[in-house]
Amino acid sequence: MVKTIISVDPKKLPWQQETPLHNRWHPDIPPVASVKEGEVFRVECVDWTGGQIKNDDNSDDVKNVDLSQVHYLSGPITVEGAEPGDLLKVEFLNLGTLDGDEWGFTGSFAKENGGGFLTDHFPCASKACWDLEGIYCSSRHIPGVRFAGLIHPGLIGTAPSAELLKLWNEREATLVAEEGTDKEKTLCGCLHTRPLACLPEAKGAMLGKLGHFKDKQEDSEWLAIANEAARTVPGRENGGNCDIKNLSRGCKVYFPVFCPGALLSMGDMHFSQGDGEVSFCGAIEMSGFLELKCSIIKGGMKMLPVVGPSPLSVNPIFEIGPLEPRYSEWLVFEGVSVDEKGVQHYLDATIAYKRAVLNCIKYLSQFGYTEEQVYLMLSCIPCEGRISGIVDVPNAVATLAIPLAIFDQDVRPPKTLEALAAGVKVVQNVCMSTEGGAVPFDPRL
Amino acid sequence: MVKTIISVDPKKLPWQQETPLHNRWHPDIPPVASVKEGEVFRVECVDWTGGQIKNDDNSDDVKNVDLSQVHYLSGPITVEGAEPGDLLKVEFLNLGTLDGDEWGFTGSFAKENGGGFLTDHFPCASKACWDLEGIYCSSRHIPGVRFAGLIHPGLIGTAPSAELLKLWNEREATLVAEEGTDKEKTLCGCLHTRPLACLPEAKGAMLGKLGHFKDKQEDSEWLAIANEAARTVPGRENGGNCDIKNLSRGCKVYFPVFCPGALLSMGDMHFSQGDGEVSFCGAIEMSGFLELKCSIIKGGMKMLPVVGPSPLSVNPIFEIGPLEPRYSEWLVFEGVSVDEKGVQHYLDATIAYKRAVLNCIKYLSQFGYTEEQVYLMLSCIPCEGRISGIVDVPNAVATLAIPLAIFDQDVRPPKTLEALAAGVKVVQNVCMSTEGGAVPFDPRL
Amino acid sequence: MVKTIISVDPKKLPWQQETPLHNRWHPDIPPVASVKEGEVFRVECVDWTGGQIKNDDNSDDVKNVDLSQVHYLSGPITVEGAEPGDLLKVEFLNLGTLDGDEWGFTGSFAKENGGGFLTDHFPCASKACWDLEGIYCSSRHIPGVRFAGLIHPGLIGTAPSAELLKLWNEREATLVAEEGTDKEKTLCGCLHTRPLACLPEAKGAMLGKLGHFKDKQEDSEWLAIANEAARTVPGRENGGNCDIKNLSRGCKVYFPVFCPGALLSMGDMHFSQGDGEVSFCGAIEMSGFLELKCSIIKGGMKMLPVVGPSPLSVNPIFEIGPLEPRYSEWLVFEGVSVDEKGVQHYLDATIAYKRAVLNCIKYLSQFGYTEEQVYLMLSCIPCEGRISGIVDVPNAVATLAIPLAIFDQDVRPPKTLEALAAGVKVVQNVCMSTEGGAVPFDPRL
Amino acid sequence: MVKTIISVDPKKLPWQQETPLHNRWHPDIPPVASVKEGEVFRVECVDWTGGQIKNDDNSDDVKNVDLSQVHYLSGPITVEGAEPGDLLKVEFLNLGTLDGDEWGFTGSFAKENGGGFLTDHFPCASKACWDLEGIYCSSRHIPGVRFAGLIHPGLIGTAPSAELLKLWNEREATLVAEEGTDKEKTLCGCLHTRPLACLPEAKGAMLGKLGHFKDKQEDSEWLAIANEAARTVPGRENGGNCDIKNLSRGCKVYFPVFCPGALLSMGDMHFSQGDGEVSFCGAIEMSGFLELKCSIIKGGMKMLPVVGPSPLSVNPIFEIGPLEPRYSEWLVFEGVSVDEKGVQHYLDATIAYKRAVLNCIKYLSQFGYTEEQVYLMLSCIPCEGRISGIVDVPNAVATLAIPLAIFDQDVRPPKTLEALAAGVKVVQNVCMSTEGGAVPFDPRL
């Protein structure tokens, strides 16, 4: 019998869960459970928004989402014997949905709420809901695709030490300080419309056993922690919100340990995700469980490369599990680092990938989908985003590969233009979006 | 009997080949051969440098390479009936080495010669030579790995029209104009040490039947073309030097047609390449052949998405072939968009990938390799570079996955630090580099 | 919330389950549940022996197993609207273990109890118990292997009509009538030591709602059914005990419908199985659940080929699911149809496979395993048994391929005999067997 | 430059080749070439019939084929240093077609000429010719399928010692002696129509440098050898005509060495084959080349298991190469050991596979193919034949899996009978057969 060390009830609000959740990174957030090396244990997680999004046909919940609260994590978990400098090997024995909560959502935030990778093209909030049937998923909002999930936690990591936390806050504050400057305007081409980084913010913070902002906002001790606790938005040295779709069943992740007991936390469960998770809220977001087993390599953090001025500048490494769905036929889209305005960028893989994604959206929309439907689709189907060439000045080349077997029609280029016109199945556009809808995508924008 | 329409002799100099080669893109370079739809034909290619690099143990040839000459291409080939606006489907029926020339090289250019992706860390030229034995390759300069090739042309594409050529030259000139400005300093972090782009240059130009710079440098008509002919360095709308490792046996590529007859050219044959081709001259470079078959989708360029202000802003798409070597066990390295100096960048996939590559180099160097050996290795083994997360501000997350089966030792993290120390096979460092050798990689640089 | 239509308690005896089980095929066994087309439902199953085998280190339970009782099935389930002549499409949405019962066993029966494929070589009962940890399994009785499961029901099928039942009973009785005759002696070479078939037998029969032998053995109406109800041992036209390892997550099986409502039953859950299931009780046998969804193709039985004099002579067909564990490196053993006594047989794939299995057992025993351990291992690891050549008189050629990645040592042939001797890890022989143990395998027998 | 040690000219007759071929196994056939350990060498082979079959639309050549001549092999090749008792590791570095001879054929022999696996159903000779275009093949006689080849030698092996040869001849003669007896009638069910084995026969024999029957039939020394030289029809201890489709690019085969120098021979090149090679002349038969490399494990034959009374009773083992075409979607047909007359057989995998093949033939014929076309198709497409269950008395269960991606239509069961009727593409029946054509396949036969 697998021991459940953290259970959740997706019907309750985040602050009503029996075991307190947390949504910030800080070494002082107290552990809520403890495990031994070799022990198999089960952790349950709410969806990353803590239940803000509903299984319905209106995307106002996505439009009005409160992002100060995210991501709600289960943990921290003490791994007995783990000490700073160790390497924590975590084996993902199983992952799945919670009984009675077998659904998920894919969304795109409104531009004023941060948007997604293509927010300039899709500035309005949208949502697609997915029915999860065992290994398969399908959506009434994006008909015509059905595929096997590759369940994974979008977010899992160990707690940062005070020193690492300081490193994060300083470097991210330095970046944010550039907002509005000339320098910022050149940062990564046309992606300026989003906040550069999310610095610590007490509002919305939930610090596990230490309590929630709504109860603690006048507690100076709590505030001291909340005001330096890192947001969970990006992936960092501790793992965190890496959104790597391959952290699925059977994989083995090697995390650096920065705090006594390692203090492992996780959440943001995804039923499936495409490389890049382009629409941001873009995987098939769900509640779910993980069954894990940990072991400790004493002093093993030395095995992790250090890249940077601090000895803490490391990243996790992992072994892929044996159960990923495999596809044999793929259609691939190329992109180079010339942006939608025709401006040439220098070896910019982000721009190149953006263009590959836009190419795919436009192409697939010839088969009866709206562009917004494809945007959401690419965010969650098991598509592969590759950095193909990164040295041929000035163009980085990125590719986006989509598996043909997930479609109920043949989306390869037909032999004639007429065949394309004749063969396209009209897929009803039921992918909702708030009033105003998507701004029509002008390919010559 | 497959008809060979272009043959080369790798023992001859590029300008001595019976069928003239070319190393620039221009619509006026005359075709050297013509094929019909459905016809199977064979094209032979010299290596991209035209034989400048030798199968020996000294890397001075890489150090002193003349890059004004590259890439030597076979073509242009007229596809009968193809007109601007059509889509040209090219099926890659087979690819291989030339009899008697079964070897290849992987190099890293000196910093003063443009370097590679990690030229700040590896500023000196280096070279590894590979023996090609049927489907397998191995190198006396990087012992301990052996793997099956995924042969592909690094470079293949249709000729640009005058209008497209103008588009390229203008946008790349705009970028180059930023060299030395403040704006440039912010371009893509720490990659500033390389030229931003390679603008047209008559020196070294070879324009097929129109002739070579050495003979034509005083011919004003020739110079007019050479001075506007695009360099072949980057991938662009016509395909070009995309360096996509999956353009291998059995794939089907859909190219836009910009000129009457399509004018297909190809070269830069690779026996194998890793995603990104990080050391720049980094695939296993070789001479080789392609067996191809073309068909035309009339007016089919309309199937290709247009992303940008010009209706020519398209990219090829392709279907992957069924014969790629597949591996079941992978070790994966993560990178986030914080550079080696610890500076935070905004959703920069290039920086994230750079860090993943550095992580892998440093990690594998614990198994007896020099860092320079791993740098070259990652450039040519079938490693996969992924854009895993591109929306979690401020960190893009990129991953680099290496297949475990190509190593003659187990490079997974062992159970203890002691096991790592005990188990490492000493791989003799025979990967050469010119005087001075590599600057030692300081991980805290 | 998936609806559980049949639940079991593995701690209870088969006849104590809330929903009655059955262990015979007969059209008159009443359905215990009903589902609609498109509905997702969950069925739980006890292990095939109904709990006779224990998770301990003594194999007397295997030696003394009562085979008159097997296999305990969950069902029959009525699929509303299904009629004879229809085709029933069953999608396997998910399969797994029951909470709190995460273990399995692999056994080999004693020769006097029917034995297994190699009972002449391994005449004594033996057992290995497996710990199931999420997707992985390992055994204290067969150390050194660990692998992902490919969970499937060994047995699933629709109920036979009275006419089909008669066909089965007659043809199997005809075979049994040959026992002891000269003709039998030539049947399939040296495999004579096992019963030729299991004809209907009232003893041990459990007929669902109709009741169990122990209560009904004097009820003539019950006996009439029990005496003609088919045993569940073999696979037949209705599916049944096919023991096809690929009937796993995501597959779609097309069953013929012989009775109104289809009357679907299932059981004999396997965590993993090798092709052939050579030791007979040889998969990793366990309790478990299935999540299924059915649809009906009206009149679709016509799509199934009829091979034989009766229009009922059909077999199910199926599509493989996308989630099978895939392995890239395999070691393969060949066998030809010459038996262990050196006698030549005519295109006999059974003999050829037997020899391939014996070859593998003997080979792997050089790496520290006992032959009995390998026999059990081959029965349950995901090995592939192929009919490679079936026409080259007189030798059929069969192959057995084992995936290298499941071993914790390299079992490929080393470069020298000395390396083999030096490198073999001593694997402690803890695979138990009843008194007397295995008869030593004499390869020259 | 790879050294070609044996070259052939497919336009010449077998006895006109510069290097003499052989078509029998005997230790006294003199080697025609010699190689060293580690040396890469190339061997060319004629097709197995020595050019008897033509690339045309008439199958009389198949009908009238002279089988006393087959298989024409290239070799024997001496591997320097190999001695009896060693293990010879042969690495298959590359395989391919001969320039100018890029075609192949699939045939089914007439019943009076031995027939194939299903000769009772398809008693007439038939032939399909294939065009080989790089990695792909297609046939004007079986339209609608196109797939990548898995090139392999149907036949490769070391020479038998005198002792092993005697063993073969005795055991096969014993089998042949049973022809016409009651015992034979029970051998493997309904397969009696073919010769039980092919014993040594001087007629048609070609013994390499020793000469051909037509020149030597009165030379008593030659006759002594020819009369004991084994036919090449079956696979045996030395490898031989195993027809294992996985002996393709990159595989490594470990052969036992029985004679000084190993004396390796090979031929019967196949562009592609299905498991079982059911129509007998059933792979895509062609001329071709192999590039190989050998190494010797001294005394290593001890690593090979001995199964049988003679210490020579071994079989080769091999590692699969990394370049096999992989498919993700499969449709699978089941068969049990009940024959077409409805007779029950005991765990007979041959019968079970026969039934699975018949099921597939009948099923696919609903999509516009003739049954004879499917019979030939299954013989050469990369279908997988599995022994799924071999212990569930009385039924062996075999499965035949076909890859869906090779068809130009969707051959999965459609949702309704009407869709099947409407959707079937009429594939013109151009698969020829000699006068009389195929006996119509009566599924109720």
Interface test mutation site (partner C, options B329, B331, B407, B409, max chain C beta carbons within 10 A): B329
CB B21 within 8 A of CB B73: yes
Please name the residues in contact with A206: beta carbons below 8 A apart, sequence gap of 6 or more.
A14, A15, A20, A21, A22, A23, A24, A69, A72, A212, A213
CB A382 within 8 A of CB A399: no
**What residues does B403 pair with on adjacent strands?**
B330
Q: Which chains touch A (3 or more CB pairs under 8 A)?
A: B, C, D
Q: Do B326 and C328 touch (CB under 8 A)?
A: yes
pLDDT at C115: 87
Please name the residues in contact with D407: beta carbons below 8 A apart, sequence gap of 6 or more.
D144, D145, D367
Name the region of A5 (left: φ>0; alpha: ψ -120 to 50; beta: rest): alpha
Q: Do A93 and C135 touch (CB under 8 A)?
A: yes
Q: Give the separation between CA A389 and CA A161, rounded to whole angstroms.
A: 37
Q: Give the separation between CA A439 and CA A426, rounded to whole angstroms.
A: 21
Smallest Cα–Cα separation from C414: which of C398, C430, C425? C425
Residue C279 DSSP code:
T
From B346, B395, B415, residue closest to A236, measured CB to CB: B395
Tell me whether strands D40-45 and D3-6 are parallel, antiparallel or unpaired. parallel
Judge whether C444 is closer than 8 Å to chain D, CB to CB: yes
**What residues does D240 pair with on adjacent strands?**
D156, D235
Q: What is the pLDDT of residues C212-243, one digit of tens each?
A: 999 999 999 999 999 999 999 999 999 999 99
CB C71 within 8 A of CB C155: yes
Q: Give the separation between CA C97 and CA B299, rounded to whole angstroms.
A: 56
Residue A344 DSSP code:
B
Q: Give the separation between CA A39 and CA A281, rounded to whole angstroms.
A: 33
Please name the residues in contact with A134: beta carbons below 8 A apart, sequence gap of 6 or more.
C40, C92, C93, C94, C249, C250, C291
Neighbours of D311 (CB within 10 A): 13
Judge whether A199 is closer than 8 Å to chain B, CB to CB: no
Q: Do B326 and C329 touch (CB under 8 A)?
A: no
Averaged over B225-230, what is the pLDDT? 98
| Chain C from 358 to 397: CB within 8 A of any D CB | 358-363, 366, 384-397
pLDDT at A257: 98
Q: Do C392 and D197 touch (CB under 8 A)?
A: no
pLDDT at D195: 82
Smallest Cα–Cα separation from C394: which of D183, D337, D179, D272? D179
Judge whether C243 is closer than 8 Å to chain A, CB to CB: no
The DSSP element (H or E) to which C137 belongs, if any, is strand C136-139
The DSSP element (H or E) to which D285 belongs, if any, is strand D280-285
Q: Give the separation between CA A98 and CA C323, rounded to whole angstroms.
A: 20
Judge whether D419 is closer than 8 Å to chain B, CB to CB: no
pLDDT at A444: 30
Helix runs in C7-135, H state only: 60-63
Q: Give the separation between CA B79 and CA B263, rounded to whole angstroms.
A: 7
Please name the residues in contact with C229: beta carbons below 8 A apart, sequence gap of 6 or more.
C24, C25, C26, C29, C165, C200, C205, C207
**What residues does B89 pair with on adjacent strands?**
B254, B295
Distance from CA of B73 to the nearest CA of D (A): 22
CB D272 within 8 A of CB D284: yes
Q: What is the pLDDT of residues C335-358, one digit of tens each?
A: 999 999 999 999 999 999 999 999
Helix runs in C230-298, H state only: none
Q: Please report residues of D whose CB lies closer than 8 A to that of C333.
A: 315, 317
pLDDT at D445: 31
- For residue D71, whether the previous peptide bond is cis, meaning omega lies within 30 degrees of 0, is yes
From D171, D242, D386, residue closest to C385, measured CB to CB: D386
Q: Please report residues of D whose CB lies closer than 8 A to that of A405.
A: 328-329
Count the alpha carbons within 13 Å of C377 in the hemisphere toward its beta carbon: 30
Smallest Cα–Cα separation from B53: which of B64, B62, B44? B62
Residue C39 pLDDT grade (very low, low, confident, very high; cuts 50, 70, 90): very high
Break chain D into its structural domains and give their ranges: 3-319, 330-433
Q: Do D327 and A328 touch (CB under 8 A)?
A: yes
Distance from CA of C146 to the nearest CA of A (A): 11
- For residue B76, whether the previous peptide bond is cis, meaning omega lies within 30 degrees of 0, is yes
Q: What share of chain C is helix, strand, coil (3-state, %, to 5)?
A: 20, 30, 50
Residue given tokens 């397998």 in the structure block: B136
Residue A189 pLDDT grade (very low, low, confident, very high; cuts 50, 70, 90): very low
Residue B95 DSSP code:
E
Q: Give the separation between CA D389 and CA A259, rounded to whole angstroms.
A: 53
Residue B84 pLDDT grade (very low, low, confident, very high; cuts 50, 70, 90): very high
Residue given tokens 């399994």 in the structure block: C137
Tell me whether strands D317-319 and C330-336 are parallel, antiparallel or unpaired. antiparallel
| Chain C from 295 to 314: CB within 8 A of any D CB | 295, 297-300, 302-311, 313-314
pLDDT at A186: 53
CA distances from C70 to B161, C7, C207, D144 (A): 75, 19, 12, 46
pLDDT at C432: 58
Interface test mutation site (partner D, options A329, A330, A409, max chain D beta carbons within 10 A): A329
Average pLDDT, chain A: 93
Q: Which chains touch D (3 or more CB pairs under 8 A)?
A: A, B, C
Q: Which residues of chain D, if any, have pLDDT below 50?
A: 188-191, 435-445
Six token digits for residue A170: 């300083």
pLDDT at D115: 87
Interface test mutation site (partner B, options C328, C407, C411, max chain B beta carbons within 10 A): C328
Q: Do A401 and B275 touch (CB under 8 A)?
A: no
pLDDT at B433: 56
pLDDT at D436: 42
CB C234 within 8 A of CB D394: yes
pLDDT at A427: 72
Q: Do C186 and D187 touch (CB under 8 A)?
A: yes
Q: What is the pLDDT of residues B13-37, one digit of tens each?
A: 999 999 999 999 999 999 999 999 9
| Closest-CA residue of chain C to B403 | C328
Averaged over B50-72, what is the pLDDT? 95
Distance from CA of D3 to the nearest CA of B (A): 10
Residue B431 pLDDT grade (very low, low, confident, very high; cuts 50, 70, 90): low
Q: Which chains touch C (3 or more CB pairs under 8 A)?
A: A, B, D
Please name the residues in contact with A176: beta carbons below 8 A apart, sequence gap of 6 or more.
A195, A196, A197, A199
Backbone angles phi, psi at A222, to 5 degrees: -65, -45
Residue C428 pLDDT grade (very low, low, confident, very high; cuts 50, 70, 90): low
What is A330-373 written as a DSSP string? EEEEEEESB-TT--B-SS-HHHHHHHHHHHHHHHHGGGT--HHH
Sign of the alpha-carbon torsion through B222, B224, B225, B229: positive
Q: Give the separation between CA C299 and CA B203, rounded to whole angstroms.
A: 75
pLDDT at B425: 76
| Closest-CA residue of chain D to A327 | D328
| Closest-CA residue of chain C to D296 | C415
| Closest-CA residue of chain B to A254 | B413
pLDDT at A184: 62
From A195, A245, A332, residue closest to B317, measured CB to CB: A332
| Closest-CA residue of chain B to C406 | B329
End-to-end CA distance of chain B: 58
Q: Do D134 and B405 touch (CB under 8 A)?
A: no
Please name the residues in contact with A308: beta carbons below 8 A apart, sequence gap of 6 or more.
B338, B339, B340, B341, B342, B443, B444
Q: Which of A281-290, A333-342, B423-432 has the lowest mean pLDDT?
A: B423-432
| Closest-CA residue of chain D to C313 | D342
Q: Is the pLDDT of residue A106 over 60?
A: yes
Q: Please report residues of B whose CB lies closer than 8 A to that of D405.
A: 322
Residue given tokens 């006097």 in the structure block: C112
Q: Give the separation between CA C246 and CA C254, rounded to whole angstroms.
A: 14
Residue C442 pLDDT grade (very low, low, confident, very high; cuts 50, 70, 90): very low
Q: Do B188 and A277 touch (CB under 8 A)?
A: no
Averaged over A22-47, what is the pLDDT? 98
Q: Is the pLDDT of residue B189 over 80?
A: no
Tell me whether strands A73-79 and A317-319 are parallel, antiparallel or unpaired. unpaired
Average pLDDT, chain B: 93
Q: Give the separation between CA A296 and CA A90, rounded to whole angstroms.
A: 9
Burial of A133 (0-12, 13-18, 19+ CB in 10 A): middle
| Chain D from 70 to 99: CB within 8 A of any C CB | 87, 89
CA distances from B79 to A90, B89, B159, B296 (A): 56, 11, 12, 9
Distance from CA of A328 to the nearest CA of D (A): 5
Q: Please report residues of B whose CB lies closer than 8 A to that of A395.
A: 234-236
Judge whether B161 is closer than 8 Å to chain A, CB to CB: no
pLDDT at A319: 98
pLDDT at C427: 73
CB B158 within 8 A of CB B258: yes
Averaged over A184-213, what is the pLDDT? 80
pLDDT at C433: 56
pLDDT at A423: 83
Judge whether D319 is closer than 8 Å to chain B, CB to CB: no
Q: How many CB pairs under 8 A join A and B?
A: 394
Q: Please report residues of D whose CB lies closer than 8 A to that of B326.
A: 322, 326
Q: Is the pLDDT of residue B232 over 80?
A: yes
pLDDT at C82: 98
Segments of A286-440 assigned E as strands: 288-297, 317-319, 330-336, 384-389, 397-403, 432-433
Q: What is the pLDDT of residues A246-267, one digit of tens each?
A: 999 999 999 999 999 999 999 9
Pick the CATH number of D3-319 from 2.60.120.580, 1.10.357.10, 1.10.4030.10, 3.10.129.10: 2.60.120.580
ipTM value: 0.94
From C148, C250, C326, residue closest to A136, measured CB to CB: C250
